[in-house]
Amino acid sequence: MRISDLGEFGLIERIKGILGSDVIGDDCAHLKLGNENVLLTVDLLLEEVHFLRRYPPESVGWKALSVNVSDVVGNGGEPKWALVSLMLPDIDVSYVERLYTGIGKACEFYRCEVVGGNVARSERIGVDVFLLGTSDRPVGRGGAELGDSLFVSGTLGDSRAGLELLKMEKRDYESFELALIERHLRPTARIDYVKHIQKYANASMDISDGLVADAGHISERSGVRIDIDSSKLPLSEELLRFCEKYGKDPKDYALYGGEDYQLLFTHPKERWNPFMDMSEIGTVSEGSGVFVDGKEVRGGYTHF
């Protein structure tokens, strides 16, 4: 049996079984250190899988830290300290300097600090970030309650559109196309939602594999059915223009596009905050699986 026969998440379940762990299963490990709630997460960006050498190194550094901050924020935490491990070919030192310029700007923005790391030689560039955060009340995937509404922050599908535009390698891009590319290269973790998630959310995570896939994680972990109303999906004007120009379906991008790093969370409808860019897109009920407009669906990004 090969890893592709199990799939990424099947492999994770095998590993959990070997370790006998009941901690593994969320975007972060939720641990107690004295009286402190500690969140631990790690994520890797690998050349030719997550980025290309021609991408601005500053953007790669920013994204490497942001995707980890997004996991912490999605679990109701605030980022504190990071360790950064680099896998490097014998490239020009200026690339590493620019990479860390991006990491440094991200640390300043998210108010966290890199406190160490490691360097190893490799055929491809890799940036592996371990991040520690803290939370007054950690929130994982497993707490969705019957009767909750399903919410997302921001807009969905923009990152996938930006990636497809990058792959076109056009000489000239329109302004709305550049905005979509920026959302793929330089996502911003929704740290402005930390207090809301801590106070109100029953289940929460960030959207990295796509809305349907990540709703599936909440469904499975919480033991509930999730229904999504596609007419309520938050779509940006830039995505709508992209889809009109290239003959695409914007709902497909919102449902299955990955790397948006928006937040997906559940809580009672009355906890909706009109001053935040959150959208109610569905409901939580008895059963299992994810349904869009009444039809059961699966899909999203996996590594295998």
Average pLDDT over residues 109-126: 98
> Residue 294: pLDDT band by 50, 70, 90 thresholds?
very high
Residue 247 to residues 51, 110, 164, 183, 241, Cα–Cα distance (Å): 26, 37, 13, 21, 10
Q: pLDDT digits over 141-152, tens only? A: 999 999 999 999
Q: Are 245 and 300 in contact (CB under 8 A)?
A: no
Pairing state of beta strands 113-121 and 295-297?
A: unpaired
pLDDT band, very low/low/confident/very high, at 12 (cuts 50, 70, 90) = confident
Specify the range with the lowest mean pLDDT, choosing from 32-36, 108-112, 291-295. 32-36
pLDDT at 24: 80
Q: What is the pLDDT of residue 9?
A: 75
Sign of the CA dihedral with 220 first, then 147, 234, and 197 last: negative
**Burial profile 235-270: b = 16 or more Cβ within 10 angstroms, e = fewer:** bbebbebbbeeeebebbebbbbbbbbbbbbbbbeee
Which tokens hold the place of 224?
A: 């509930």
The answer to whether the CB of 23 falls within 8 A of the CB of 89 is: no
Q: Is the pLDDT of residue 107 over 90?
A: yes
Mean pLDDT of 6-33: 83
Query: Could you report the per-residue pLDDT of 158-190, keeping only the tens digit for each?
Result: 999 999 999 999 999 999 999 999 999 999 999
Q: Which domains, and CATH codes, for the chain?
A: 3-135 (3.30.1330.10), 149-297 (3.90.650.10)
Residue 301: which pLDDT band, with cuts at 50, 70 and 90? low
- pTM of the predicted model over 0.75: yes
Determine if residue 46 is left, alpha or beta; phi over 0 gives left, psi from -120 to 50 gives alpha, anything else beta: beta
